[in-house]
Structure 1
Amino acid sequence: MHTTRIGCGAGFAGDRIEPAEDLLRRGALADLVLECLGERTVALAQRHKLSDPAHGYEKRLPARFNRLLPLAIANGVRVITNMGAANPLAAGRVTRELLDSLGLGGRVAVVTGDDVLADLDLNTVAWETGRPLRNHGEIVSANAYLGADALLPALDADVVITGRVADPSLFLAPLAHRLGWDLLDVPMAAAGTLVGHLLECAGQLTGGYFADPGWQDVPDLANLGFPYADVTSDGTAVLGKLPGTGGQLSKATVREQLLYEITDPAAYLTPDVTLDVRNVRVTGDMRVSGAQGAPRPDSLKVSVGYRAGSKVEAEISYVGPNAARRGALAAEVVSTRLAGVPLRAEVLGGETDCRLRVAAISHDQAVLDRVGDEVESLYTNGPAGGGGVRVHVTEVIGIVSTLVPRSAVRPAVTFLEAPDAAA
């Protein structure tokens, strides 16, 4: 029975690079997945693309790939990532240039088609608010969650870059490619989606998010190792992490990750399958099996970005005796003077060292300026001893969700060849 090994080298955009390097050096992987795109990261990427159409991909892509791709190419490991974010083609071009500058050759594939803004029905209701999309102000982005079927045509490449793809699909696609699965085979799609869901958050599976001192102690957290899975053609998977790495891989960490973000254990909706994890079993040797499911849904989830105004964050510190009470008084003063302005004022810290943070979101620049000015005025208008004022204003891209018919999404693959290969 054929077996393939797939690892996770990142669970979010700001993840460490060293565990991925270790997996590439010692892991004997066939594939490494870098899952770097969350709802928040999509919003930030869309904001960057709005200000500069050449950007909008994950900003750490060049630094991450500069360290990882030489190891991946040298060890014959295919890399799949959603670091394309809001601009996969730009990310692909940057990757192509990096590979060429390092003399690595290789083939880059870019998966597009998740951007459905041009065809979005603005009368569709947003899940979170129950209001039509058009009532949320200016819509700036709409990205559908592509499934594994969108990635399959790209998997003849050495590096595959996508935008918005469902997290488990990043793993299911290479598993199906290596093991010869039909993505419409529900048991296989369920098995691969389970593996992807368990691996997708990297260090969460190996004890990172699990750690709670004195309650759930995890050894050598500073050297946390990231996970991999040996997956056989029947869908059974054995989870592991490299010898000598920190962290913990146990039934408890697996069960915690199993329930992460799935909402309904009997019907976790993905683009590839409706996953049922109620009968999943984990044995002492970290063998995972028992995924079940129903056929994939006819609709795909879409994350819709809209201009939600700007956020002002204004802060001031208080230290020394009675600092917490002075901070609380400062919050009361600001709240009184800004009565009628929706804001949040909170005092963070302890009795002798604290910081007042006041935050508000508005489309009105005058309101944002007023919030900052009121906090800054506390320097001399009391209470005593305020210092270290910081005022920061950023545009907010709000995110809501809706559905589109699967037929309305048209994925495509673009191959970027090395100059010699193209010639």
Structure 2
Amino acid sequence: MKKIRIGGGAGYGGDRLEPALKLLEEGNLDYICFECLAERTIALAQKEKKSDPKKGYNHLLEYRMGAILPILKGKKTKVISNMGAANPFQAMKVTQEIARKMGIKGLKIAAVLGDDVLDTIRQSLYLPILETGKPLSTIEPQIISANAYIGVGGIVEALKNGADIILTGRVSDPSLFLAPMIYEFGWKMDDFEKLGKGTMIGHLLECAGQVSGGYFADLNRKAVPDLWDLGFPFAELEESGDGLISKVTGTGGLINTATCTEQLLYEIHDPAQYLTPDCIADFSKVEFEAIADNCVRFSKATGKEATDTYKVSVGYSNGYAGEGQISYGGHDCIARARLAAEIVKKRLEKLSLQDVRLDIIGLNSISPMETEPKDLQEVRLRVCAKADNFEKARHIGQEVETLYTNGPYGGGGVSQHVEEIISVASVLLPKSAVNIHVEYLNT
């Protein structure tokens, strides 16, 4: 019976590289997938691409490819990643150039294109925003990007055409992992039971170290060994869609039925109705069975036919966030921080700011304490607010800095920061309006 191994090489854009290299070297992988996108990160990447047409891909692409490509030379492992972000074609060219400089020949690199639907969205301003119910036209002047969550189609096509490295834009996270299963096992696109199983596997792997105990770890209540050396997971899969999840022997972390259950439910609104571009997955009857240390067998996921729409993340400019911070230490540090907060609050009233927050970090920035501690020796005041222009936002941090000499005494370590707010709105777009295609380069 045919089996394949797929590794989870990254769980977000800035994830560690060393555990992925360990997987490549010792995991006997057929595929490794690097999941590096989120709703807001692709909007920021689109903004960067507008400033420089040669940018807009993941900032760590060169770093990762520079380390991965030499390892791939002697292995059969294929790489699939959404590190292409807003610019998969340029990411493909950059990867080709890195390989050529290393003297690596015979690689076929693919870029899956078509998720960028900004032009279509600009012609579809009647579409309702899922979060508010209002039409897209209400944010039309601020729209900067629109990317559809596409599925496995482009990746499967690239695999059929012999691609060794496949770079995509906004592909649904589990689709990165599902695509090689469809290709290797010859699954039909209307075999929704298997697509549901593959989607579940992809969901377990997509956040990399989370399922290996990273996000599970909670001091003594859920102790995880050697978190400093957290190993990333791989799945060994059968043609039926069942299989096991594990990690390289000797790495830190923990894979058991509890870590798998937590990851199974992560970001899932309804385990029986998980909507993806490829199917509606049903995780409600999934079973996990520990068959060895750090080795869990999974079964009984299923699915049904997908909807006829793609979810589209529409990025738009939503003003500016201004922030200032200052620390107070020693006797009466809490009282002085509170006085400083009141001073800045009064000074900012004339600016007509929104969402003003005045937090004393260590005391009430997450949740207020019922009784004030008597032994705190230092706190940090954070003032943050939303403004409709850059100059107003900058003034927030400036007012915090003036506390140096305008009181109360003893403030230090001021920092200031201004950032444009990129927000995300979601809409549903008919799949028929999206044209997915694949480009190729060779080394």
TM-score, scaled to structure 2: 0.92
Residue 390 of structure 2 aligns with an amino acid whose one-letter code is Q
Displacement, 1:50? Answer: 2.5
Q: Which residue of structure 2 aligns with residue 247 of structure 1?
A: 253
Distance 1:183 1:197 in 2: 18
- Structure 1's 29 and 206: CA in aligned 2 closer, same or farther, altered over 3 A? same
Tell me the equivalent position of 2:12: 12
Residue 185 of structure 1, aligned match among 155, 174, 191: 191
Tell me the residue number matched to 2:347. Answer: 337
Q: Distance in 2 between matches of 1:18 and 1:117?
A: 36
Match of 2:72 in 1: 72
Counterpart in the other structure of 2:370: none
Instruction: Describe the SS at the equivalent of 1:311.
Output: strand
The answer to whether 1:208 aligns with 2:214 is yes
Q: Distance in 2 between matches of 1:246 and 1:364?
A: 47
The residue identity in structure 2 corresponding to 1:115 is D
Q: Is it true that 1:413 corresponds to 2:414 in the alignment?
A: no
Q: Are the counterparts in 1 of residues 40 and 423 from structure 2 also a CA contact under 8 Å? A: no
- 1:293 corresponds, among 279, 296, 303, to 303
User: Could you say which residue in structure 2 is the equivalent of 1:114?
Assistant: 115
1:100 maps to which residue?
100
User: After the TM superposition, which residues 21-420 of structure 1 pair with which residues of structure 2 at under 5 Å, given as runs?
Assistant: 21-105=21-105, 106-120=107-121, 121-136=124-139, 137-155=141-159, 156-285=162-291, 286-339=296-349, 340-342=352-354, 343-349=356-362, 351-418=376-443
1:3 aligns with 2:14: no
RMSD: 1.2
- Structure 1 residue 254 displacement after superposition: 0.4
Q: Using the TM superposition, give the Cα deviation of residue 375 of structure 1 relative to its aligned residue in structure 2, in angstroms.
A: 1.1
SS in 1 for 2:173: coil
Q: Deviations over 1:317-360 (max 9, x none)?
A: 21222212211221122112223422211111362222111112
Matches of 1:169 and 1:308 in 2, distance apart?
A: 30
Partner amino acid, structure 2, of 1:80? I
Paired with 1:12 and 1:159, the residues of 2 have a C-alpha distance of 19
Residues 365 and 19 (structure 1), Cα distance of their counterparts in 2 relative to 1, 3 Å cut: closer
One-letter amino acid of the structure 1 residue matched with residue 428 of structure 2: L
Deviation, structure 1 residue 417: 1.3
- The question of whether the paired residues in 1 share the 8 Å contact of 2:341 and 2:381 is answered with yes
Partner of 1:421: none
Would you say the 8 A contact 1:271–1:296 is kept in 2? Answer: yes
Give per-residue Cα distances to partners, 1:202-227, cap 9 Å, x unaligned.
00001000000011000111111111
Gaps of 5+ in 2: 364-375
What is residue 368 of structure 2 aligned with on the other side? none
Aligned length: 418
Deviations 1:23-66 (A, max 9, x none): 11111100000011112321321232232221110001000110
Out of 293-302 and 130-139, give the one that drifted further.
130-139
